[in-house]
Amino acid sequence: MGRPSKKYVDYFPHDTDASERRTLFVIESNYGNNGYAFWFKLLEVLGRKDGHFLDLNDDNELIFLSAKTRLSTEETKLILDLLAKLGAIDRELWAKRIVWSQNFVDRITDVYRIRKKKPPSKLDIMGADFDPFINGVSTAETPVSTESIGFIPQKSAETPVSTAESTQSKLKENRLKENKETLVQMAKLFARFWVEYPKKRAKKAAFKAFQKIKDVDLIFEKILSAVQLQSKTDDWTKESGRYVPYPATWLNNERWKDEAEKITMGW
């Protein structure tokens, strides 16, 4: 059995004119040497992180980053907000408290080229690798081996592989590939739903309910619009959202089908 594929690096480029470029210039102008140190310590953390992203929804990760950069958690979040505005970290993922820098990954691609591996991507985070509910599916980190799907290696001339066996193996490979692509797309849609839904409770149950929706890709915009509309009703806004249903309950009961006129009247 081969060693697991590394998804981190031991070094990254540090240009001699880095402080003259926009990101560091703005960060230093606002936070002085603390801003300079924060940026490169953040890159150190991303470099050593498996997949090169940092999930600050985990309080322990935020506490660690703050301790490493010698800043308070509030200062840490403020600097990250500024980095997102500058485009130094991904704005869409930072809205979900995920730190990802595409530019950083682009500059270390040579490492993965030498390893003959694909570098991590944003899709990995938004799709199967990031979502804990899709177990065992990872298009980047655990590529499908031919053995795992029953592919019969090419045999010697004395025992040739039959056409039927070869065709069946190809069909299995194609089905597995299609399933992975479907799961990644499902996770991306669910991530958008989760950002919009005001009560973030029982995420695993919500994802299971989301998976059960027939033709969810075709009606997704309707679901999203219903969430946005219902979020403005009295029932959902009073008492700090106390009466907002759990997302799994809302999805299982197909509440996006509620009549618009009833929603707007607060029924």
What is the per-residue pLDDT across 242-262, written as a single tens digit (0 to 9) for each?
A: 899 999 999 999 999 986 545
Would you say residue 222 lies in a domain?
yes
Helix, strand counts (H, E) of the chain: 13, 2
pLDDT at 63: 92
Q: Per residue of the chain (267 residues), what is the pLDDT tens digit?
A: 455 566 767 777 776 667 667 888 898 888 999 989 999 999 999 988 888 999 998 888 999 999 999 999 999 999 999 999 999 999 989 998 999 998 888 888 888 888 888 888 887 777 534 444 443 333 333 333 333 323 334 444 444 555 665 666 666 666 655 666 777 888 888 999 998 999 988 888 999 999 999 989 899 999 999 999 999 998 898 888 889 999 999 999 999 998 654 554 444
Would you say residue 71 lies in a domain?
yes
Would you say residue 128 lies in a domain?
yes
Terminal CA-to-CA distance of the chain, rounded, Å?
Answer: 61
Residues 67 and 103 in one domain: yes
Last residue of a domain, one of 109, 144, 172: 109
Residues 59 and 90 in one domain: yes
Element containing residue 241 per DSSP (H, E): none
- Residue linked to tokens 């594929």: 5
pLDDT tens for 12-31 read 777 666 766 788 889 888 89
The pTM of the full predicted model, rounded to 2 decimals, is 0.46
Residues 150 and 222 in one domain: no
- Residue linked to tokens 């029924």: 267
pLDDT at 43: 92
Residues 38 and 104 in one domain: yes
Across all residues in the chain, what is the average pLDDT?
78
CB atoms within 10 A of CB 259: 9
**Counted domains in the chain:** 3
- Residue linked to tokens 């800043």: 71
- Residue 95: which of 107, 83, 79, 84 has the closest Cα? 84
**φ and ψ of 98, to 5 deg:** -110, 130
Q: How far is CA 87 from CA 102, 108, 115, in A?
A: 9, 18, 28
Would you say residue 203 lies in a domain?
yes
Last residue of a domain, one of 81, 109, 137: 109
- Residue 72: which of 81, 85, 60, 62 has the closest Cα? 62
pLDDT at 70: 93
pLDDT at 151: 34
Would you say residue 185 lies in a domain?
no
